[in-house]
Amino acid sequence: ILNVEQSPQSLHVQEGDSTNFTCSFPSSNFYALHWYRWETAKSPEALFVMTLNGDEKKKGRISATLNTKEGYSYLYIKGSQPEDSATYLCASAYYGGSQGNLIFGKGTKLSVKP
Amino acid sequence: DGGITQSPKYLFRKEGQNVTLSCEQNLNHDAMYWYRQDPGQGLRLIYYSQIVNDFQKGDIAEGYSVSREKKESFPLTVTSAQKNPTAFYLCASTGEIRGYTFGSGTRLTVV
């Protein structure tokens, strides 16, 4: 059974702090890594989809990197704001299965205090 | 605006009753998915469909059934055979490798 691990499980930071969290995934037959942001009472929102080793993507103050050889991705948030408070999910997809099927981690819950 | 609509938002089921959760998308996506979330757990795949009139079991399909008669619709039935149906259910769709588009979820409670 493929397992995607996210750490930490939860994180509390002050407004203005920069933070990062980790997603670890099996690297064999890897196809793609997805990051989602899930605010309470809303739908998860796609942040990034990465496929290539060394990929780095950025969206405003949020960026992500990918290492497919060792099976990890980092998500960075620069200068956290209260509106960044959410659960951040990562998910990986693999060759051999349906290419749309994702294996989700349990998420990192970020709380940003003003 | 294109998106996914799940209904109802909250659903209460009596023991032994079947209930159906609705999922409709107007994104012209081929693939649709049903996930279940329990406290402290990641999203777990129940069923998925890559194309109309075809669907496949996910990791936790027992006690659930689906249909895909139209591209836009992928309803999930929680049957009486599902022993622990209380959970949060998310529907998603994707057209290509751009990430999923999710619905807002249905919270099902057994009373």
For residue A1, the model assigns a pLDDT of 66
Report the helix count and the strand count for chain B, using DSSP H and E: 0, 11
Counts of helices then strands in chain A (DSSP H, E): 0, 11
Q: Report the pLDDT value the prediction gives residue A100, as an integer from 0 to 100.
A: 59
pLDDT score of A3: 87
Residues in chain B whose Cβ is within 8 Å of chain A: 4, 31, 33, 35, 40-45, 48, 50, 56, 58, 90, 94, 97-105
Nearest-CA distance B87 → chain A (Å): 15
Integer-rounded Cα Rg, in Å, for chain B is 13
Q: Give A24-50 as a 3 state SS string.
A: ECCCCCEEEEEEEEECCCCCCEEEEEE
Place B98 in a pLDDT band, splitting at 50, 70 and 90: low
Among all residues of chain B, which has the CA nearest to that of A48? Answer: B99
pLDDT of B42: 83
pLDDT per residue, tens digit, chain A (114 aa), is 678 999 999 999 999 999 999 999 999 989 899 999 999 888 999 999 999 999 999 999 999 999 999 999 999 999 999 999 999 999 998 886 654 578 899 999 999 999
- Nearest-Cα residue of chain A relative to residue B91: A43
Residue B3: burial class (beta carbons within 10 Å; 0-12, 13-18, 19+): middle
**Residue B51 buriedness (CB in 10 A; 0-12 / 13-18 / 19+):** exposed
Nearest CA to A50 among A24, A25, A68, A29?
Answer: A68
> Tokens 């399909």 sit at which residue?
B61
Per residue in B2-57, pLDDT (tens digit) is 799 999 999 998 888 999 999 999 999 999 999 999 988 888 999 999 999 999 99
Find, among A26, A97, A46, the residue nearest to B3 by Cα: A46
Contact: A43, B4; criterion CB under 8 Å: yes
